[in-house]
């Protein structure tokens, strides 16, 4: 309704003075500033966002690309993270737009639209691949971005990631200490960095223990994927006595398979992510999670700092993984 021009006119002042009064510049008298402030409050004046964005050459927006596998939109804990991120970005005047990949368009095309159209000031990339074309594109444009998950890019970039290698390494060693000798790995597609790192951690531990690494399956990182992998494992003559799962969703699918085939928890299982729902499955799911507190806040902070021009090397967070011990990992190795 009210814009700067009308406000200035009603006050008998210039647009410049009103603008600078509201922005708290020192070259407007205290009396005038107060008069302007009161009039602005009364009129409910808010600067037009589009106009300010054009003038300041900032979109005041950050986009997060959502990988849209049919019917399944990334890990379920995403929304909590995004919400936290959006809240902290808002504190700096930025809003978060969610950008699922439209039908018939690639994630790369979408990045191009957002970057070249100056629709956003930075991008947040999730589900990074080891070789990620989005990362390469943004780097070639010199456009600010932060990833959730590392890549194998030669050039450094800001990221937040959990140390999946160490986590899965430790989990596997722990199963070994508990007496397990046939420890399977149910992983996700290896082009994803997180899936690869976790598998590498499992594999390294197995080698250190002198165990074979043939109990290893890859599936879609969903309940269904875990379910199918578990069915395949249960059909083998050399069944595992423990299963390390790349994600909680896969682990939940594994638990379901165990129930259907063996009627209950016949094999130790551990997942990763600490989905809230894990506490409510039967048996309650043992899992791992990234340390480091409020993830959304961290992403927001990294985004702001990369927009501000801080070098990538100072914007990389690798968080340790901790165990969340519940009931699904305690089975003795002879149970099968």
Binding-site ranges for a second copy (CB under 8 A): 1, 44-51, 53-54, 57, 59, 61, 63, 66, 68, 71-74, 76, 78-80, 82-84, 86-87, 90-91, 95-103, 112-113, 116-119, 223, 252-253, 255-256, 259, 276-277, 279-282
Separation between Cα atoms, residue 287 and residue 43, nearest integer Å: 54
Decide which of DNA, a second copy, none touches 108; Cβ closer than 5 to 8 Å per partner kind: none
Question: Cβ closer to a second copy: 118 or 131?
Answer: 118
Please, which residues bridge with residue 323 across strands? Answer: 288
Residue 86 C-beta-side C-alpha neighbours within 13 Å: 12
- At 23 the three-state DSSP class reads coil
Q: Which is nearer to a second copy, 47 or 292 (CB)?
A: 47
Cis check for the bond before 87: say yes or no (omega within 30 of 0).
no
Q: Which does 19 bind (CB under 5 to 8 A by kind): a second copy, DNA, none?
A: DNA
From the list DNA, a second copy, none, which binds 171 (C-beta under 5 to 8 Å, kind-based)? none
Among 314, 333, 302, which residue's Cα sits nearest to residue 62?
A: 302
Under DSSP, the state recorded for 203 is H
In this structure, are residues 161 and 127 in contact, taking their beta carbons and an 8 Å threshold? no
The end-to-end CA distance of the chain, in Å, is: 72
With CB cut-offs between 5 and 8 Å by kind, which of a second copy, DNA, none does residue 4 bind? DNA
Q: How far is the CB of 152 from a second copy (least distance, A)?
A: 27
- How far is the C-alpha of 214 from the C-alpha of 41, rounded, in Å? 69
Residue 276's binding partner among a second copy, DNA, none (Cβ under 5 to 8 angstroms by kind) is: a second copy
Q: Are 215 and 182 in contact (CB under 8 A)?
A: yes
Minimal distance in Å, beta carbon 97 to a second copy? 4
- Chosen from a second copy, DNA, none, partner binding at 130 (C-beta under 5 to 8 Å by type): none
H/E stretch holding 66: strand 61-66
Angular region, 240: left φ>0, alpha ψ -120 to 50, beta rest: beta
Q: Which does 212 bind (CB under 5 to 8 A by kind): DNA, a second copy, none?
A: none
Tell me the C-alpha distance between 189 and 220, whole Å. 6
What does the per-residue mask of binding to DNA show for 134-153, with x meaning CB under 7 A? --------------------
Q: Cβ distance 64 to 282 under 8 Å?
A: no
Of the residues 9, 16, 34, 314, which one makes contact with DNA according to CB under 7 A:
16
Range 18-57, binding DNA (CB under 7 A): 19-20, 22-23, 27-32, 45, 47-48, 51-52, 54-57
As measured in angstroms, the least distance from the Cβ of 127 to a second copy is 13
317 - beta bridge partners? 160
Taking the least distance from each CB to DNA, the nearer of 60 and 317 is 60
Among 12, 24, 71, 293, indicate the residue that binds DNA (CB under 7 A): 12
Binding residues vs DNA (CB under 7 A)? 3-5, 12-17, 19-20, 22-23, 27-32, 45, 47-48, 51-52, 54-57
């Amino acid at each position: 309704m009210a814009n700067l021009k009308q406000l200035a006119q009603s006050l008998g002042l210039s647009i410049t003075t009103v603008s600078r009064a509201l922005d708290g510049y020192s070259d407007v008298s205290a009396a005038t500033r107060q008069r302007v402030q009161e009039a602005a409050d009364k009129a409910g004046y808010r600067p037009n966002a589009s106009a300010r964005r054009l003038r300041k050459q900032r979109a005041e927006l950050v986009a997060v690309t959502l990988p849209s596998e049919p019917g399944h939109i990334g890990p379920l804990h995403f929304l909590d993270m995004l919400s936290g991120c959006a809240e902290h970005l808002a504190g700096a005047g930025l809003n978060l737009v969610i950008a699922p990949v439209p039908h018939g368009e690639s994630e790369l095309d979408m990045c191009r639209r957002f970057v070249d159209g100056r629709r956003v000031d930075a991008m947040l990339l999730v589900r990074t691949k080891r070789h990620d074309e989005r990362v390469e594109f943004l780097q070639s444009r010199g456009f600010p971005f932060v990833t959730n998950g590392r890549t194998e890019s030669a050039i450094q970039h800001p990221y937040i990631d959990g140390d999946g290698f160490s986590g899965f390494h430790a989990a596997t060693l722990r199963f070994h200490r508990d007496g397990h000798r046939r420890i399977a790995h149910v992983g996700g597609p290896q082009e994803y960095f997180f899936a690869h790192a976790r598998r590498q951690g499992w594999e390294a531990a197995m080698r250190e223990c002198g165990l074979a690494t043939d109990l290893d399956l890859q599936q879609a990182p969903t309940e269904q994927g875990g379910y199918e992998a578990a069915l395949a494992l249960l059909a083998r003559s050399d069944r595992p006595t423990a299963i390390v799962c790349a994600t909680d969703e896969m682990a939940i699918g594994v638990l379901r398979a165990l129930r259907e085939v063996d009627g209950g928890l016949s094999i130790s299982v551990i997942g990763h992510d600490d989905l809230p729902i894990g506490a409510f499955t039967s048996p309650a799911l043992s899992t791992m999670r990234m340390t480091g507190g409020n993830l959304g806040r961290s992403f927001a902070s990294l985004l702001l700092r990369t927009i501000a021009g801080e070098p990538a090397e100072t914007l990389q967070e690798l968080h340790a993984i901790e165990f969340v011990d519940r009931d699904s990992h305690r089975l003795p190795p002879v149970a099968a």
